[in-house]
Amino acid sequence: MYYRPRHPEDGHMTDAQIRQLLIDRVDIQRKSVGMVVGIITPDRRSVVSHGCMSQESQRPVDGDTAFEIASVTKAFTSLVLADMVQRGEVALDDPVSTYLPAGVTLPERNGRRITLVDLATHTSGVPPQPPDLQGLDDPAAAEYSLDRLYQSLATYRLIRDIGSEWEYSNVDMALLGHALARRAGTDYETLVRARITGPLGMTSTSTVVSPELAPRVAVSHDSDLRPTTRLSLGALGPAGAMLSSANDLLALLGALLELTPSPLAPAVPVLLHTRRPIYPPIVKMLQRHWRLMLRAAVSRRNGRRAPARFFSRAEQALGWYILGRGGDEMVVHDGSGPSCAASVVFDRKARAGVVVLSNAGIMVQDVARHLLWSQYPLGRVRTEVALDPAVLDRYVGDYTPLAGPGWNILRDGDRLLVKVPYYAKLHLRPENAENFFVPELDFEFSFDRDAHDRVTQLVFRPGKGQPDMPARKQAPTPST
């Protein structure tokens, strides 16, 4: 069976070639325990898999294996919104507070209230995580209640105008999911089943592990491939608590690409029509971050390579991202967590889509993009090396950027940890004494030192064509 990529001049990729790619990822690079790829086009539907349900089990993963999909959950939340909009049940400009319990107060700014479209496009201005929750690895996350979420936002003061700037937010999607469920008079899980998974026959997709689904759920693993617990997000569930399979997600792509008849077809134009820019205008960036951008330019002149840029533009639709290159567009949503990785991408013009699922916390988005558009490069292979503890101690400390939250570098035995803002503490893996990476998020960090060999700053490299972001190391606080 053959898969025809978006660009015909790139040739064909066979299932055997895709399987070899997975063998390389799982067996050679050790980036997963089990991976599944699903591909759908007007001509065929294909599932290729390699690896096992867990380190202890030899049971292979397949198209019906249920994986954590983390933030791909947001794609379901936004599709429910589009469906309710096209049915006339809600409007994009409706204030969110209209559908929340009486007495719940959300922040406002300059007389403007947060609307459904602000949440769906990550432009509400509320923080990415609840102010009283440290991150996804906070033990309180599993029991984080909806009432507590409402209380945490009641006194939050917005620092920018609603709808003015994009910032990826779990809180936005959690609020959206709960508001839509209240409008429908049900709970989030039941709403998704009624509007999406039920009509599409997606029997392996749920935020709840039923007795029927449990035997097919892959064991989750951290980035060291050790078994770990699944994400448990409490009230943030509509932002990242769902499990799904490759076969189910191909059914979803079939509906979004209009390759199969679906009651959701009228919602697809609504889903993708409204768009807001992901990055602020260059003038605003220069006004706000000119020092940071100047430092990044100087660093590149001093030898640090500029980040590669494949896509020429990036926009936020309802939930999904639109990445452009020339006259073509790729619609994407990725999911990543300390215990899983997922990516769903499609091209409306070519009517082709790809699903990639993994039961380990190492990003897979490069595989999905490469299989859809083979010109997109696969990520480079990185190898972690061991460093002397004295070298590691140089980097421990707090680092403050000119904009946004800071970074905390901590010692964890013979390794370093980085506290990723709003996310979790993750191992910072050295490639050498100056360059480090975080495989869960495909982040890179470099450290600069002065003439006395003292670490002065880290440079965060988010990749994907975004600029380097320096952060100054702060002097340690004197002990009392």
362, 381, 400 - which closes a domain = 381
pLDDT, residue 310, reads: 86
pLDDT, residue 309, reads: 73
365, 381, 397 - which closes a domain = 381
Note the pLDDT tens digit of each residue in 29-52. 999 999 999 999 999 899 999 999
328, 348, 381 - which closes a domain = 381
pLDDT band at 279 (very low <50, low <70, confident <90, very high): low
Cα-Cα-Cα-Cα dihedral sign, residues 102, 103, 107, 111: positive
Classify residue 303: in a domain, yes or no: no
> Are 372 and 399 in a shared domain?
no
> Are 469 and 375 in a shared domain?
no
pLDDT > 90 in the chain, percent: 75
Count CA atoms closer than 13 A to 475's CA, side-chain side.
2
Report, as an integer, the average pLDDT of 65-69.
98
Report, as an integer, the average pLDDT of 365-383.
93
Count other Cβ atoms within 10 Å, centred on residue 277.
14
pLDDT, residue 200, reads: 97
Least confident of 6-10, 212-216, 256-260, 298-302: 6-10
Report, as an integer, the average pLDDT of 298-308.
52
Examine the pLDDT at 1 and tell me if it is beyond 70.
no
Examine the pLDDT at 298 and tell me if it is beyond 60.
no
Note the pLDDT tens digit of each residue in 128-183. 999 888 787 888 888 999 999 999 999 999 999 999 999 999 999 999 999 999 99
Classify residue 124: in a domain, yes or no: yes
> Are 404 and 370 in a shared domain?
no
Classify residue 23: in a domain, yes or no: yes
Top pLDDT among 18 and 12 is at: 18
What domain range is 399 assigned to?
Answer: 389-473
Classify residue 443: in a domain, yes or no: yes
Report, as an integer, the average pLDDT of 428-444.
93
Examine the pLDDT at 304 and tell me if it is beyond 80.
no
Classify residue 447: in a domain, yes or no: yes
Examine the pLDDT at 474 and tell me if it is beyond 70.
yes
> Are 434 and 345 in a shared domain?
no
Classify residue 460: in a domain, yes or no: yes
> Are 460 and 347 in a shared domain?
no
Residue 167: what are its φ and ψ, rounded to 5°? -150, 115
pLDDT, residue 402, reads: 79
pLDDT, residue 142, reads: 87
| CATH code, 437 | 2.40.128
pLDDT band at 286 (very low <50, low <70, confident <90, very high): very low
pLDDT band at 290 (very low <50, low <70, confident <90, very high): very low
Q: Which amino acid is at 73?
A: T
Pick from 458, 418, 457: which is nearest to 440 by CA? Answer: 418
Classify residue 293: in a domain, yes or no: no
Examine the pLDDT at 480 and tell me if it is beyond 60.
no
Note the pLDDT tens digit of each residue in 177-236. 999 999 999 999 999 999 999 999 999 999 999 999 999 999 999 999 999 999 889 999
> Are 371 and 398 in a shared domain?
no
> Are 417 and 268 in a shared domain?
no
> Are 420 and 337 in a shared domain?
no
Classify residue 38: in a domain, yes or no: yes
- Per the structure, the count of domains in the chain is 2
- Mean pLDDT, rounded, of the chain: 89
pLDDT > 70 in the chain, percent: 89
> Are 370 and 415 in a shared domain?
no
Q: Distance between the two ends of the chain, CA-based, in angstroms?
A: 69
pLDDT band at 72 (very low <50, low <70, confident <90, very high): very high
Note the pLDDT tens digit of each residue in 316-372. 999 999 999 989 999 999 999 899 999 999 999 999 999 999 999 999 999 999 999
Examine the pLDDT at 423 and tell me if it is beyond 90.
no
> Are 328 and 424 in a shared domain?
no
| CATH code, 161 | 3.40.710.10
> Are 101 and 246 in a shared domain?
yes
> Are 338 and 461 in a shared domain?
no
Whole-prediction pTM: 0.91
